[in-house]
């Protein structure tokens, strides 16, 4: 069994050699590869990677021209990984490679993705509190019971990593994306160490980006196939409330002779009706776009087994969805 380690790096020159040594020490008995992704570092991180790669052919490294973000770094790493089990961990030494056997044991229980849970987090309070809020909101939104969605220390069973599409801050929602694809997601407590070198890359801009990505993930995991279910519900609710207001005002006018021109409620009712109709129209247009996409493109479908079928080619000839079986594609 081969293990792949994907490590996004941003200005972590002091940590890389020690992290490499710890990973090698905890991979005894396994074939492995270590993939460093230099996400636009301005220190000597890539020089350290070059030195490690020269001394060990199992070390691979990619250097970005600029900082593209952790999600992009992970996506490139997933594309390069050749292992049966893929690990992702940060390059700051806060994730402890001694947990590698525990991840493998949990995967052997039948899980496809195992996420770490930093039970005792060694970070400043300004990082811990927002993270707790993020975990709470994510759990309530997606009904996936994990204690820590944001832990970068994860283990994936191939070919799960090949089916993920990451951008923006989407790496924070990898367990949700995997769960939406039908994979079994688990969690184990992991040791978390205080930062030993450098400084945190945690920025306040992550809060706003994370909120927008939360909405994006909710949309693509639940409404990408039928957007009318989302826009239609909002539109019907808005139109219904507007109609109730309009009927109420009509009764006042017809039976009680009260004037309506000076009532703001009249304009609110009209606004809700028009807004609701626009939402419904938006949903219908979205359905047309999705239907057009399905006709012109093949939607990814993940298949685990085929019985008495040599290949799913006949399915393609009948314009069925794109078929992926393990790491082979038809």
Residue recorded with tokens 């040791």 = 191
| Placement of tokens 């074939």 in the chain | 31
Number of domains in the chain: 3
- The whole-number pLDDT of residue 322 equals 39
pLDDT band at 294 (very low <50, low <70, confident <90, very high): low
Between 261 and 237, residue with greater pLDDT: 237
What is the percent of the chain where pLDDT is above 70? 85
| Whether residue 177 is found in the same domain as residue 242 | no
Closest to 67 measured CA to CA, from 214, 210, 204, 201: 201
Same domain? 234 vs 137: no
More confident of the two residues 123 and 5: 5
256 and 312 assigned to the same domain: no
Of 169, 198, 221, which marks where a domain is finished?
221
Same domain, 162 and 46: yes
- How many CB atoms within 10 Å of residue 16? 28
Domain hosting 246: range is 223-297
For residues 190 and 245, membership in a common domain is answered with no
Q: What is the model's pLDDT at position 47?
A: 93
10 closest CA partner among 50, 39, 43: 39
Which of 194, 221, 248 corresponds to the end of one domain? 221
Q: Are residues 323 and 279 in the same domain?
A: no
User: 118 and 13, same structural domain?
Assistant: yes
Q: Which of 201, 221, 241 is the last residue of a domain?
A: 221
pLDDT the model gives residue 314: 42
Residue 203 pLDDT level (bands cut at 50, 70, 90): low
What are 47-59's pLDDT values in tens digits?
999 999 999 999 9
Is 196 found in the same domain as 84?
A: yes
- DSSP string covering 35-92: EEEE-S-SSSHHHHHHHHHHH-TTEEEEE-SS---HHHHHHHHHHH---SEEEE--SS
Q: How far, CA to CA in Å, does 59 sit from each of 35, 63, 88, 91?
A: 6, 13, 15, 14
Asked whether the beta carbons of 35 and 6 are under 8 A apart, the reply is yes
Please compute the mean of the pLDDT values over residues 163-188 and round it to a whole number: 90
CATH of the domain at 83: 3.90.550.10
Q: Give the pLDDT confidence of 128-163 residue by residue, as tens digits.
A: 787 888 888 888 888 888 988 888 899 999 999 999
Give Cα 214 distance to the centre of its chain. Answer: 9
Instruction: Please state, as a whole number, how many other Cβ atoms lie within 10 Å of the Cβ of residue 13.
Output: 18
CB 122 within 8 A of CB 40: no
Q: Are residues 23 and 145 in the same domain?
A: yes
Report the mean per-residue pLDDT for the chain: 84
pLDDT at 199 over 80: no
State how beta strands 328-329 and 323-325 pair: antiparallel
Residues 166 and 208 in one domain: yes
pLDDT at 308 over 60: no
Q: Are residues 48 and 76 both part of a single domain? A: yes
pLDDT at 166 over 70: yes
Res 328: pLDDT: 42
What SS3 class is residue 248?
helix
* Residue in this structure with the two tokens 């939406």, named with its chain if needed: 180
**79 and 212 together in one domain:** yes
Q: How far, CA to CA in Å, does 138 sit from each of 144, 173, 227?
A: 8, 8, 21
């Amino acid at each position: 069994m081969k293990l792949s380690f994907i490590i996004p790096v941003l200005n972590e020159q002091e940590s890389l050699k020690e992290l490499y040594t710890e990973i090698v020490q905890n991979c005894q008995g396994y074939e492995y590869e270590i993939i460093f992704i230099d996400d636009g570092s301005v220190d000597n991180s890539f020089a350290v990677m070059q030195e490690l790669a020269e001394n060990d052919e199992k070390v691979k490294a990619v250097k970005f021209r600029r900082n593209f973000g952790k999600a992009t770094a992970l996506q490139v790493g997933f594309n390069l990984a050749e292992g049966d089990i893929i690990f992702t961990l940060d390059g700051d030494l806060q994730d402890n490679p001694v947990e590698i056997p525990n991840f493998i044991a949990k995967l052997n229980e039948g899980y496809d993705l195992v996420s770490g849970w930093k039970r005792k987090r060694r970070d400043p309070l300004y990082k811990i509190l927002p993270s707790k809020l993020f975990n709470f909101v994510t759990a309530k939104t997606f009904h996936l019971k994990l204690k820590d969605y944001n832990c970068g220390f994860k283990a994936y069973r191939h070919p799960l990593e090949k089916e993920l599409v990451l951008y923006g801050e989407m790496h924070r929602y990898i367990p949700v994306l995997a769960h939406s694809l039908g994979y079994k997601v688990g969690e184990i407590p992991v040791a978390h160490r205080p930062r030993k070198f450098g400084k945190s890359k945690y920025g306040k801009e992550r809060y706003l980006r994370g909120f927008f990505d939360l909405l994006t993930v909710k949309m693509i995991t639940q409404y990408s196939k039928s957007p009318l279910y989302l826009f239609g519900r909002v539109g019907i609710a808005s139109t219904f409330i507007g109609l109730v207001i309009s009927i109420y005002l009509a009764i006042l006018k017809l039976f009680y002779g009260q004037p309506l021109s000076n009532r703001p409620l009249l304009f609110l009712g009209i606004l809700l009706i028009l807004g609701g109709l626009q939402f419904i129209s938006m949903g219908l247009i979205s359905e047309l776009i999705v239907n057009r996409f399905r006709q012109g493109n093949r939607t990814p479908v993940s298949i685990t087994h085929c019985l008495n079928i040599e290949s799913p080619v006949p399915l393609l000839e009948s314009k069925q969805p794109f078929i992926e079986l393990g790491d082979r594609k038809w």
